[in-house]
Structure formats: structure tokens, C-alpha cells
């Protein structure tokens, strides 16, 4: 159910401030039956103390059993039904990096990959190269590939192994499959149109398949980055803004382009962040400097996800501990409503996004007694918030912030 028409009538502007912290991929699993998850293994004295005076629950970002991508996971947290407000990863990345992405263009998210002599995927992320190495490879591709069958090809660096391709011409569609097999030991997939009668999308698929071959030829002498995998092929969507629906003045504090892209799509002002994701203190500084200007902040931390994808249980737990050390600085700002959660789970034992619910912590006025003692999956299951879907979070935050009027007579 799309609540936007109702919320647009009920929301009201108030001076109260909401801070939504997203620890990307924070949910996890034990390494062995009966063991702790990454969250439970982490030493988190500040989160523990906060949990004991907050309300907790579990949150399914999109739908039970579905392992969400970061796009639908985040859209649901912002209150946008991810089954109605569809957007591909390519569009989000293109918008997030500020690419020249026009109506009618097709945005494609790319992973640089390592392929073996038989063309099978050895590493879907090519060893996570530096941004500098990424830029070198992108420059090489720009010089070698400018056009395929009358379609202009524009390459952009995103970060690490990620890059963006913009396809520009008329007559292209975005209803096509990815070429990323999402596993190693197999070759990249061939893209095809979901509907073989969709000639516009069939043309896009053919261009992508040719582009994959051309990239392999250009990069054949590279030791690690010798292939590309395409995901999230999409046109630029148009969504109602958070300002329009919720009467908020929202801001985004994130480093990775994809998350800046989804925030921009829903009308947040994306604040510039200096430094790298491994030094999150810069994000806290941006939050402090802009605290008076906005009434809603989305604060994103990525490394809880990427360490899970790398299968590094101990390092994911450590990234949680790094956030825990920063938590007092967030509390010092005295947000009226503070929520801490994730956009999906990324258990290190799976090395991938999963369908498992994530913990949700809500620190706000007017909370009921809560039995949860820590910000962990097991403790959150004891909490008074129960089990929510992602799209149910924003009305809850607005209500606790005093921004929702009564519904009905």
C-alpha cells in the first residue's frame, strides 16, 4: 500500500530533528551453530548503553525471503515502496557520481572483474583496486571504445572496482538482464531482453554483450582487471520528494556514489564529505557542521557491508566497534529521534546480501518498556517494536518526532 497520499496530508513541519543511521549490511549470522553474529561478537559499550534506554525490534527491509539490493533496501527505509518505486543500480550510481545522465540515457553499474584463461570469473571485484587504478582503466576504455552501433558509450569511475557506463542514443530500453553471474567459476552471462518482442531493450542487451567483448579485448593484457560485469541497467526515474511527502528538509551524508544517488532521487541534499570510508570521522564533522540546517539526516556507513561481502567476520565486527566509538558524538547533538538499522543483512559466512531481518534501534520520546539489552539480532527480537517492514519505519520516525497529525475523525 502506498501511504504517500495519506502522509502528505498528515505530516506537518516542526523543529524536531530525526537522525537515521544506516549501518550497511549490518545483519549477520553465526560462523557456527550457537555462536555469536558479528554484532554480538563486537564490543559495543555505547550501543549497549543506548539499547537499554531505547526500543528495539527487527526490520525486514523489503519482503520476507527476498535478499534486497542496496537500492530497494534504502528506498524502503525512506518510506518508498520498492515494488512501486523501481530503480536500477546503474541509475543510482550515475546520479550519485554526478554523471551526465539525461532522460533517454541508459545507466549501467559495472564491476571490474578478474577472468581466467577460459573466461570464467575468478574475482567479481578484481581484488578491490584503488580508485586511482580504476581511473587508469577507465581512461584506457574511454580511449578505445567510444561508440557501438551508433550508441555513444561514456565511462565513469565510481570507486574501487565499481564503474558506470552511460549509453546514449534514442530507442534504447532498460528491461534487460544483468551479465553479472553473482558467483565465481562461471563465465559472465549474456544479457537479453525480458520480452523478446521489446526491440528497444533487445538493442540494449546486444550493445551490452558487444561491450563486454570489447572490454575484454582492450584489457586482455591487464593482470587483474581484465573483464567487466554489468548490473542494474536502468533509465533515470522520477520520484516524489521527501520534502513534498513528509514536509522535511532532508540531508544525506554518505561517501559511496550509489547511496548519494538514491538520496538525491528522493530529494535529499547530498552534503560533501571529505576523506575516505575508512575514516568515518569526516562524516561526523559534516553532521555537526550542518546540524542546524536540516531536520532529517541520513548518515551512511558502508564498511559493515563490504567486510561481510569479503567474508571477514572479525573485520566486520571491528567496523561495528568503530561506529560504537563514534556514537557519543551523535548523541551529543541530542537528536529528537535517532534510529540505527541496516538496509539488509550481509553475513560474512555467505559473503553476500541475505534475506535475514536486521536489528532496529529507536531512541525517542514516548517509548514503551523494552527487554532488549544490546543492539544485536537476538536482543532485537525481544524488543517492543516487534517485527516491521522497511516501509513502516518512516511513519514511526515521523510520529515520534511529532510530525504526524491524527488520521481520521
Q: What is the pLDDT of residue 212?
A: 97
What's the pLDDT score for residue 126? 95
pLDDT of the chain along its 409 residues, tens only? 789 999 999 999 999 999 999 999 999 999 999 999 999 999 999 999 999 999 999 999 999 999 999 989 999 999 999 999 988 889 888 988 889 998 889 999 999 999 999 999 999 999 999 999 999 999 999 999 999 999 999 999 998 999 999 999 878 999 999 999 999 999 999 999 999 999 999 999 999 999 999 999 999 999 999 999 999 999 988 899 999 999 999 999 999 888 998 999 999 999 998 766 667 888 999 999 999 999 999 999 999 999 999 999 999 999 999 999 999 999 999 999 999 999 999 999 999 999 999 999 999 999 999 999 999 999 999 999 999 999 999 999 999 999 999 999 8
Secondary structure letter of residue 243 according to DSSP? H
Angle at alpha carbon of residue 92, lines to 5 and 162, rounded to 5°? 160
* Domain extents in the chain: 4-86+239-400, 92-234
The CB-based long-range contact list for 84-88 (8 Å cut-off, 24+ gap) reads 84/2, 85/237, 85/239, 86/237, 87/234, 87/237, 87/239, 87/262, 87/265, 88/174, 88/232, 88/233, 88/234
C-alpha grid cell for residue 239? Answer: 520520484
Give the C-alpha separation, 71 to 25, whole Å: 12
Tell me the three state secondary structure of residue 373. coil
For residue 172, CA distances in Å to 197, 201, 225, 235 come to 13, 6, 28, 9
Can you tell me the distance from the alpha carbon of 39 to that of 314, in angstroms, rounded to the nearest whole number? 10
Q: Which CATH architecture has domain 4-86+239-400?
A: 3-Layer(aba) Sandwich (3.40)
CA dihedral 63, 64, 66, 70 (to 10 degrees): 50
Unique residue bearing C-alpha cell 520520484: 239
Name the CA radius of gyration of the chain, rounded.
21
Hunting for cell 497520499 — which residue is that?
5
Asked if 155 contacts 165 with a C-beta cutoff of 8 angstroms, the reply is yes
pLDDT value of residue 372: 96
CA 70 vs CA 77, 105, 185, 188, 258: distances in Å: 11, 22, 25, 22, 8
Assigned C-alpha cell, 182: 553473482
pLDDT score at 276 = 63
Question: In this predicted structure, what is the pLDDT of residue 115?
Answer: 97
Q: For Cα atoms 280, 282, 284, give the angle at the middle one, nearest 5 degrees.
A: 80
pLDDT of residue 216: 97
Same fold, 4-86+239-400 and 92-234: no
Question: Cβ contacts of residue 293 below 8 Å, gap of 6+?
Answer: 249, 251
Instruction: Write the DSSP symbol of residue 224.
Output: S
All three cell numbers of 348: 560474512
Which CATH number does 92-234 carry?
A: 3.30.70
Stretch (H or E) spanning 359 = strand 358-363
Residue the block writes with cell 575508512 = 278
Strand partners, 27: 345
Q: Is the pTM of this model over 0.85?
A: no
Q: State how beta strands 147-148 and 269-270 pair.
A: unpaired
CA distances to 89, 130, 161, 262 from 112, rounded to whole Å, are 15, 12, 5, 22
Give the residue among 111, 121, 126 at the shortest CA–CA distance from 183.
121
385: phi then psi, degrees, rounded to nearest 5: -75, -15
Amino acid at each position: 500500500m502506498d501511504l504517500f497520499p495519506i502522509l502528505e496530508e498528515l505530516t506537518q513541519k516542526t523543529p524536531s530533528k530525526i537522525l537515521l543511521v544506516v549501518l550497511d549490511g549490518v545483519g549477520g549470522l553465526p560462523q557456527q551453530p550457537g555462536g555469536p553474529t558479528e554484532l554480538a561478537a563486537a564490543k559495543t559499550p555505547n550501543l549497549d548503553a543506548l539499547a537499554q534506554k531505547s526500543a528495539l525490534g527487527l526490520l525486514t527491509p523489503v519482503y520476507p525471503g527476498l535478499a534486497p539490493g542496496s537500492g530497494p533496501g534504502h528506498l524502503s527505509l525512506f518510506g518508498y515502496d520498492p515494488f512501486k518505486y523501481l530503480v536500477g543500480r546503474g541509475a543510482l550510481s550515475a546520479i550519485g557520481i554526478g554523471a551526465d545522465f539525461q532522460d533517454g540515457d541508459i545507466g549501467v553499474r559495472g564491476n571490474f572483474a578478474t577472468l581466467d584463461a577460459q573466461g570464467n570469473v575468478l574475482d567479481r571485484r578484481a581484488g578491490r583496486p584503488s580508485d586511482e587504478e580504476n581511473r587508469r582503466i577507465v581512461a584506457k576504455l574511454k580511449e578505445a571504445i567510444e561508440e557501438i552501433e551508433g550508441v555513444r558509450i561514456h565511462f565513469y569511475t565510481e570507486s574501487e572496482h565499481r564503474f558506470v557506463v552511460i549509453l546514449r542514443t534514442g530507442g534504447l530500453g532498460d528491461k534487460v538482464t544483468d551479465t553479472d553471474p553473482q558467483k565465481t567459476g562461471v563465465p559472465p552471462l549474456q544479457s537479453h531482453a525480458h520480452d523478446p518482442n521489446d526491440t528497444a531493450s533487445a538493442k540494449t542487451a546486444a550493445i551490452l554483450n558487444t561491450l563486454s567483448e570489447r572490454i575484454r579485448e582492450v584489457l586482455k593484457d591487464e593482470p587483474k582487471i581484465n573483464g567487466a560485469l554489468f548490473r542494474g541497467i536502468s533509465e533515470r526515474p522520477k520520484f516524489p520528494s521527501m520534502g513534498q511527502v513528509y514536509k522535511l528538509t532532508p540531508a544525506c551524508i554518505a561517501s559511496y556514489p550509489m547511496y548519494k544517488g538514491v538520496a538525491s532521487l528522493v530529494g535529499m541534499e547530498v552534503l560533501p564529505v571529505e576523506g575516505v570510508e575508512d575514516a568515518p570521522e569526516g562524516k561526523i564533522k559534516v553532521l555537526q557542521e550542518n546540524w542546524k540546517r536540516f531536520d532529517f539526516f541520513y548518515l551512511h556507513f558502508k564498511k559493515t557491508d563490504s567486510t561481510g561481502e569479503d567474508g571477514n567476520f572479525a573485520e566486520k565486527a571491528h567496523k561495528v566497534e568503530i561506529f560504537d566509538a563514534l556514537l557519543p558524538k551523535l548523541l551529543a547533538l541530542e537528536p529528537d529521534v535517532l534510529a540505527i538499522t541496516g538496509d539488509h543483512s550481509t553475513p560474512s559466512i555467505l559473503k553476500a546480501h541475505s534475506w535475514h531481518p536486521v536489528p532496529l534501534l529507536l531512541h525517542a520520546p514516548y517509548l514503551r518498556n523494552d527487554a532488549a539489552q544490546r543492539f544485536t539480532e537476538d536482543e532485537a527480537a525481544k524488543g517492543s517494536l516487534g517485527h516491521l517492514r522497511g516501509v513502516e519505519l518512516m511513519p514511526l520516525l515521523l510520529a515520534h518526532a511529532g510530525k504526524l497529525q491524527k488520521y481520521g475523525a
